[in-house]
Chains A and B, each alone.
Chain A
């Protein structure tokens, strides 16, 4: 309205900075706005956990074992009398860290492999394609069990396992992008000017192939958090007393008759996180590639 009236009065409204305009356009979609808000809260909880959580994640009080939700303990306590809300807030820290780093590991393996396969073609490409075919066809959790059986449990190993299991998608995406980009005029021009293969890949192909990777990474974040929760719930991922959302659900499972909230509450945080990154990923895809708008 303000803009309209300004035009009516013949005044010029200075255009917003393109980046600010892009962010504004991104959050024009109500689903993306709500998802961004929820994700923002979860990230704040993760970053400032020691200041926000009412108690430490491992502060035990056996006299207060398995308490129902109350003003003092909004989600009750577990068998060792630990405050569940505090454990969930600290859990956000670890679950999110595992998610982000696992996605980083997948990208760090998948991007160079895809770039080389797409650019070099021939046998490197053949080998990569067969390897990713085998890995993509595979049930993810079974693969994770195999990797964890080799590496053993623990935060670092779980990150590595999830990273290894999800790199093929990145490799294939970047390979497809590289295949089409390497024939484009600007790459041919760079080659004609004598640019080295390394320079062409790093300066010309990678920056232009990055958009679908960003979208994929945002969607993969949710899957990584779900995978961590599943492994930790099974007792073979991150082990107690480290609080992750999956560990807390597993902790509460044997005592669901006494305090069901221990297992119920962390699940809502998982759903909220995965749902918000999925919705933001979809929105990102729509904004970056309008041809895909409305498709799933």
Chain B
């Protein structure tokens, strides 16, 4: 297993290399002098006041007068050491800035992820065991979900539950682990808008996979042995129906990362997503670059976890 995980991580190296190459190419493509993408407009203006020599000296110091391939290699070396540079705006190291905001985004995403999975699977089981209206509702929900912008759903929820009913706060972030009551109040609307439709997809997949498994002979055998229906469904059918559901759950993580950017903006949550928007607005290239590379890492790890989970759910799958 350890060898499999190591090999998978090594296999994902080309993906990292390509993404880093794209990020590096982006740095070179920023309109104007490439040094602008590394030191930012502010420092550039300061240097420019000292004359062209000062800019050239800084260019030499950063190695920007070397061939592009060497620049890329030293860029990779810096990345390998966790050096993502400094923000143009705050002048802080990018890694430190992300470190401060990442816990918030992680908490929001993980809570949404968990709610999505629990709700999606529970409703999927109900829909499989009681077809009819639940089935129709699930399909409509999922079809609508793909077509509806989640930031717009978030605004609708704010209008109904915060402004008209006054039940929940309109924005802000309170850590649910330090102040559970207020924290959960602040979490309800973001989690619903971020996960409303992700759970619908999991629900549809669970339903169709479970319906397929419930027709299998071993389920009939389990019932013939006189097992309770709940035991038949949970122990015998559901575990075997989870394989395709796991794929959907793994894929939903990319959507969650992208979705949190929008939801953090609507609810003024000070996470990485909000930082990404600010960085794009100010063309704060080092910050954007770091977020792009870290998201790639998150997706690679999520795919790996999904693959490893396959083996747990279906022991016939061998890791080689």
A interface list, Cβ under 8 A from B: 130-131, 133-134, 137-143, 145-150, 152, 222, 226, 229-230, 233-236, 249, 253, 256-257, 260, 263-264, 267, 270-271, 274-275, 278
- Evaluate whether A264 and B292 lie within 8 angstroms (CB atoms) in the complex, with A233-B262, A234-B265, A270-B149 already known: no
Q: In this complex, what residue of B is CB-closest to A236?
A: B280
Could you pull out 18 A-B pairs where Cβ atoms are within 8 angstroms?
Answer: A133-B15, A134-B15, A137-B15, A139-B255, A145-B261, A145-B288, A146-B23, A146-B292, A149-B285, A150-B29, A222-B147, A235-B281, A253-B155, A260-B163, A263-B159, A267-B156, A270-B149, A274-B148
The reply to whether A149 and B156 contact each other, CB–CB distance below 8 Å, is: no
Residue from B147, B277, B299 in contact with A275 in the complex, judged by beta carbons closer than 8 Å = B147
Contacts of A233 in B (CB 8 A): 149, 151, 262, 265
Q: How many residues of B contact A (CB 8 A)?
A: 49
Shortest beta-carbon contacts, A-B, top 6 = A141-B258, A267-B152, A274-B147, A139-B258, A134-B18, A275-B147
What is the 8 Å Cβ interface bit string for chain B, positions 7-18, against chain A (1 contact, 0 not)? 000000011001
The reply to whether A236 and B155 contact each other, CB–CB distance below 8 Å, is: no
Q: In this complex, what residue of B is CB-closest to A246?
A: B149
The reply to whether B14 and A130 contact each other, CB–CB distance below 8 Å, is: yes
The reply to whether A260 and B159 contact each other, CB–CB distance below 8 Å, is: yes
The reply to whether A230 and B151 contact each other, CB–CB distance below 8 Å, is: yes
Closest Cβ of chain B: how far from A95's Cβ, in Å? 12
Contacts of B284 in A (CB 8 A): 149
The reply to whether A150 and B155 contact each other, CB–CB distance below 8 Å, is: no
- Evaluate whether A234 and B292 lie within 8 angstroms (CB atoms) in the complex, with A139-B254, A139-B255, A271-B147 already known: no
**Interchain CA distance A147-B22 in the complex, whole Å:** 10
The reply to whether A142 and B292 contact each other, CB–CB distance below 8 Å, is: yes
Interface status of B300 (Cβ within 8 A of chain A): yes
Closest Cβ of chain B: how far from A233's Cβ, in Å? 6
The reply to whether A152 and B261 contact each other, CB–CB distance below 8 Å, is: no
**Interchain CA distance A141-B257 in the complex, whole Å:** 9
**Interchain CA distance A162-B23 in the complex, whole Å:** 17
The reply to whether B299 and A137 contact each other, CB–CB distance below 8 Å, is: yes
**Interchain CA distance A130-B19 in the complex, whole Å:** 10
Known: A130-B18, A134-B14, A140-B258; 12 extra A-B contacts, CB below 8 A, are A141-B258, A143-B292, A146-B23, A149-B283, A226-B147, A230-B149, A230-B151, A233-B265, A234-B277, A236-B281, A271-B147, A278-B143
Closest Cβ of chain B: how far from A1's Cβ, in Å? 31
The reply to whether A226 and B149 contact each other, CB–CB distance below 8 Å, is: yes
The reply to whether A234 and B149 contact each other, CB–CB distance below 8 Å, is: no
**Interchain CA distance A233-B265 in the complex, whole Å:** 9
Interface status of B279 (Cβ within 8 A of chain A): yes
The reply to whether B143 and A138 contact each other, CB–CB distance below 8 Å, is: no
- Evaluate whether A271 and B159 lie within 8 angstroms (CB atoms) in the complex, with A141-B261, A234-B265 already known: no
Interface status of B45 (Cβ within 8 A of chain A): no
Contacts of A256 in B (CB 8 A): 155, 158-159, 163
Main SS class of interface, B: helix
Q: In this complex, what residue of B is CB-closest to A279?
A: B143
**Interchain CA distance A257-B170 in the complex, whole Å:** 11
Contacts of B292 in A (CB 8 A): 142-143, 145-146
Interface status of B303 (Cβ within 8 A of chain A): yes
Contacts of B147 in A (CB 8 A): 222, 226, 270-271, 274-275, 278
Interface status of B289 (Cβ within 8 A of chain A): yes
The reply to whether B18 and A138 contact each other, CB–CB distance below 8 Å, is: no
The reply to whether B18 and A149 contact each other, CB–CB distance below 8 Å, is: no
In chain B, positions 1-34 with a C-beta closer than 8 Å to chain A are 14-15, 18-19, 22-23, 26, 29-31
Interface status of B295 (Cβ within 8 A of chain A): yes
**Interchain CA distance A176-B295 in the complex, whole Å:** 28
The reply to whether B144 and A271 contact each other, CB–CB distance below 8 Å, is: yes
Interface status of B68 (Cβ within 8 A of chain A): no
Q: In this complex, what residue of B is CB-closest to A222?
A: B147
Closest Cβ of chain A: how far from B204's Cβ, in Å? 8
Contacts of B285 in A (CB 8 A): 149-150
Q: In this complex, what residue of A is CB-closest to B28?
A: A150
Interface status of B134 (Cβ within 8 A of chain A): no
Contacts of A235 in B (CB 8 A): 277, 281
- Evaluate whether A264 and B159 lie within 8 angstroms (CB atoms) in the complex, with A138-B254, A152-B283, A278-B147 already known: yes
Q: Which of A138, A139, A147: most chain B CB closer than 10 A?
A: A139
Interface status of B291 (Cβ within 8 A of chain A): yes
**Interchain CA distance A233-B22 in the complex, whole Å:** 26
Contacts of B276 in A (CB 8 A): 142, 145
The reply to whether B265 and A142 contact each other, CB–CB distance below 8 Å, is: no
Q: In this complex, what residue of A is CB-closest to B283?
A: A149
In chain B, positions 262-320 with a C-beta closer than 8 Å to chain A are 262, 265-266, 276-277, 279-281, 283-285, 288-289, 291-292, 295-296, 299-300, 303
Q: In this complex, what residue of A is CB-closest to B285?
A: A149
Contacts of A271 in B (CB 8 A): 144, 147-149, 152
What is the 8 Å Cβ interface bit string for chain B, positions 124-156, against chain A (1 contact, 0 not)? 000000000000000000011011110110011
**Interchain CA distance A133-B26 in the complex, whole Å:** 19
The reply to whether B143 and A263 contact each other, CB–CB distance below 8 Å, is: no
Q: In this complex, what residue of B is CB-closest to A237?
A: B280
Q: Which of B148, B152, B163, B254: most chain A CB closer than 10 A?
A: B152
Contacts of A145 in B (CB 8 A): 261, 276-277, 279-280, 288, 291-292
Closest Cβ of chain B: how far from A110's Cβ, in Å? 16
